[in-house]
């Protein structure tokens, strides 16, 4: 049975983004229909500027709160950062580390080694050091299996999960053991496995369009 895709996101970031969207929609409706004032709506450069600023905030909420994710499935690992996407098939992945961030090292389009740092689950070096010290202390003073897991940071746990998916999808023999011959054959395929880092057009547009509109409104305001 194929692995179910593992999707890792920031709950706090998504909640904050949704809260902003609700706030922005309510304010846009108020600007469009004057729900909280008297009389009909008044369309001015100022109201248009406020509306565009709300849209810019929605773009920021999208790229920083909703977009970021780490996805691991049977074929590859995908990292969605605010403005860029990283995709690497498991055969191209060299190493996955979990320290103060999830870092994936893989073979790029030209065969060069690339490193990608995930936006999700980033931890400060100080918090990482505290978590490692806590894990060592728990492991030394407790005989309960798994007690040391309390000291894992989200980045460490995410890296462990991704490495498990990667190991399960390596070439294997019928007995289930890793097959070095099959791995060597896969590595020598005519089409070698390569990952890629690309810009996200929707993410860029969600920020660029409101910025362009702000510039246009600024010019209009200056001419009036």
Q: Rounded mean pLDDT of 160-181? A: 72
Reply yes or no on whether the pLDDT at 147 is more than 50. no
The per-residue pLDDT of the chain, averaged, comes to 85
Q: Taking a C-beta distance cutoff of 8 angstroms, is the pair 29, 35 a contact?
A: yes
Reply yes or no on whether the pLDDT at 48 is more than 80. yes
As a whole number of angstroms, the distance between CA 159 and CA 167 comes to 12
Greater confidence (222 vs 42) lies with 222
Number of DSSP helices (H) and strands (E) in the chain, helices first: 6, 8
As a whole number of angstroms, the distance between CA 22 and CA 28 comes to 10
As a whole number of angstroms, the distance between CA 68 and CA 65 comes to 7
Helix, strand, coil share of the chain (percent; to 5):
50, 20, 30
pLDDT value for 140: 65
> Which helix (DSSP H) or strand (DSSP E) does residue 33 occupy?
helix 11-33
As a whole number of angstroms, the distance between CA 178 and CA 171 comes to 6
Reply yes or no on whether the pLDDT at 61 is more than 60. yes
Q: Taking a C-beta distance cutoff of 8 angstroms, is the pair 92, 106 a contact?
A: yes
pLDDT value for 84: 98
The full set of domain ranges for the chain reads: 6-67+201-223, 69-199
Question: What are residue 37's phi and psi, to 5 degrees?
Answer: -115, -175
Closest residue by Cα to residue 17 from 73, 61, 52, 56: 61
């Amino acid at each position: 049975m194929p692995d179910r895709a593992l999707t890792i996101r920031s709950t706090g970031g998504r909640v904050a983004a949704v809260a902003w969207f609700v706030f922005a929609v309510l304010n846009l409706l108020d600007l469009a229909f004057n729900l909280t004032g008297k009389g009909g709506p008044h369309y001015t450069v100022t109201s248009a500027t406020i509306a565009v600023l709300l849209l810019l905030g929605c773009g920021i909420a999208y790229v920083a709160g909703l977009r970021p994710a780490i996805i691991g499935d049977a074929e590859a690992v995908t990292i969605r950062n605010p403005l860029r996407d990283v995709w690497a098939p498991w055969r191209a992945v060299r190493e996955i580390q979990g320290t103060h961030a999830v870092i994936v090292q893989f073979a790029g389009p030209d065969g060069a080694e690339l490193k990608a740092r995930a936006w999700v689950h980033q931890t400060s070096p100080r918090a990482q050091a505290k978590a490692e010290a806590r894990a060592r202390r728990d492991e030394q003073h407790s005989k309960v299996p798994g007690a040391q897991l309390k000291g894992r940071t989200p980045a460490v746990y995410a890296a462990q999960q991704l490495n498990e998916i990667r190991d399960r999808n390596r070439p294997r023999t019928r007995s289930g053991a890793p097959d070095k011959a099959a791995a060597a054959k896969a590595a020598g395929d005519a089409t070698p496995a390569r990952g890629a880092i690309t810009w996200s057009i929707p993410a860029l547009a969600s920020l660029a369009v409101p910025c362009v509109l702000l510039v246009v409104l600024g010019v209009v305001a200056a001419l009036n």
